[in-house]
Amino acid sequence: MFSYLVRRLFIGLITLTLITFIIFGLIRNMPGSPISNAMAMIDPGKELNPADIERMKKAYGLDKPWPEAYVLWVKNVCQLDFGRSISRKQPVARLIRERIGPTLILSVSSLFLTYLLAIPMGLYSSARQGHLDERTIGTLLYMLYSFPSFVAALFLQIYLANKLGLLPLYGMRSDNYSSLSTIQQVWDIFKHALMPIICYTYGSLAYYSRFIRANMHEVLRQDYIRTARAKGLGPVTVLVKHAFRNTLIPLVTLIGLTLPSLLGGSVIIERIFSWPGMGQLYFESILERDYPTIMGLTLMFSIMTLAGQLLADIFYAVADPRVKISDH
């Protein structure tokens, strides 16, 4: 176990280095730079002289070749210094910390609802295979899965916000948020978050329930399931205790791989609803060529992805004692 973890951490460290090195090289070679963005924002009647431009390059660390700048960035990261945002003039760590909460509100709520609904729906579809209700549910799920979330977001905004006025159109808080009581503030955030959560959830719900149903069909054809039925066990016991447990291995893989998405956010959904989450921060940072923020977010997403894969392997062994961690 210990040697396995050391080996995985070593491989993860090499992978992390490669990812950050490639991303650093790509963003430093993208067209445009923080300086060109800054020049576009100043008064057209003013011009920066070459000395000012060189001073800005030095201040942003752009006066060095990108491989040398990468080594300097790694050295600072090892000292837990993620740099300072060029466009927002704030430490990157603080920026990321401020966006984690709003993103988790959407992602955790969506993930909880997805598993809460998908597992019973998947089991029910398995038990009712071939019946009219199972086919109806399957057709509806296919329709949901094929419906783009950004189209659903626009529909929800048109009908629930504009026409019916039931929910706020965008944002995370109302203008009078600070004057509300604690309960009213929670209710206010809930109303703002409801439409993004719906858009986050329905596609995942369709995917996970179909995934569980497909795996259950494979398991229900196994001999030990026939044996369990021949012993006179009830359908619920056979379905949940004997069949569903053996579908947990592929399911826990998905759980592990969803870990990065908890903090990754969704660029499109957060953009449409003006939700101040990680996805929107990443998108804005790329537009602004804010190199320190892009690298800080890339590093965090990469670590979350590698950690998710490691957790999935550990969950394997927990879900199925026949699987040894050292086998991976």
CATH number of the structural domain spanning residue 115? 1.10.3720.10
pTM above 0.75, yes or no: yes
Tokens of 91: 């430490």
Torsions phi, psi for 68 (to 5 deg): -70, -40
Q: Is 149 helix (H, G, I), strand (E, B) or coil?
A: helix
Structural domain of 264: 93-319
| Long-range contacts formed by 78-84: CB under 8 A, 24+ apart | 82/292, 82/295, 82/296, 82/299, 83/292, 83/295, 83/296, 84/292
**Residue 240 DSSP one-character state:** I
Task: Please give the Cα distance from 62 to 161 (Å, whole number).
Answer: 45
Query: Which residue from 60, 66, 22 is spatially nearest to 39, judged by alpha carbons?
Result: 60
The answer to whether residue 25 is domain-embedded is: no
Domains contained in the chain, number: 1
Q: Quote the CA–CA distance of 318 and 328 in Å, as a whole number.
A: 14
Q: How does 80-114 read in b/e, with b if 16+ C-beta sit within 10 Å?
A: eebbbbbbbeebbeebbeebeebbbbbbebbbebb
Would 42 be classed as within a structural domain?
no
Q: Residue 91 forms beta bridges with which residues?
A: 84
Query: Quick one: pLDDT at residue 191?
Result: 92
290 located within any domain = yes
* Three-state DSSP state, 22: helix
Q: Is residue 108 a contact partner of residue 201, using CB atoms and an 8 Å limit?
A: no
Q: What are the CA-CA distances from residue 176 to residues 36, 188, 194 (Å)? A: 37, 10, 19
The secondary structure of 257-301, three-state, reads HCHHHHHHCCHHHHHHCCCCCHHHHHHHHHHCCCHHHHHHHHHHH
- Mean pLDDT per 10-residue interval, the chain, length 328 residues: 78 90 90 76 67 78 86 90 86 90 89 88 83 86 84 90 90 88 92 91 84 81 82 80 76 70 76 88 88 91 84 70 57
Assess if residue 166 is contained within a domain. Answer: yes
Helix axes 66-78 and 291-319, enclosed angle (nearest 10) = 60
144 within a domain of the structure (yes/no) = yes
Query: For the chain, where are the alpha helices, taking DSSP H only?
Result: 2-28, 34-41, 50-60, 66-78, 92-127, 132-146, 149-156, 182-220, 223-230, 235-237, 248-257, 259-264, 267-272, 278-287, 291-319
Q: What is the pLDDT of residue 318?
A: 67
In-domain check, residue 270: yes
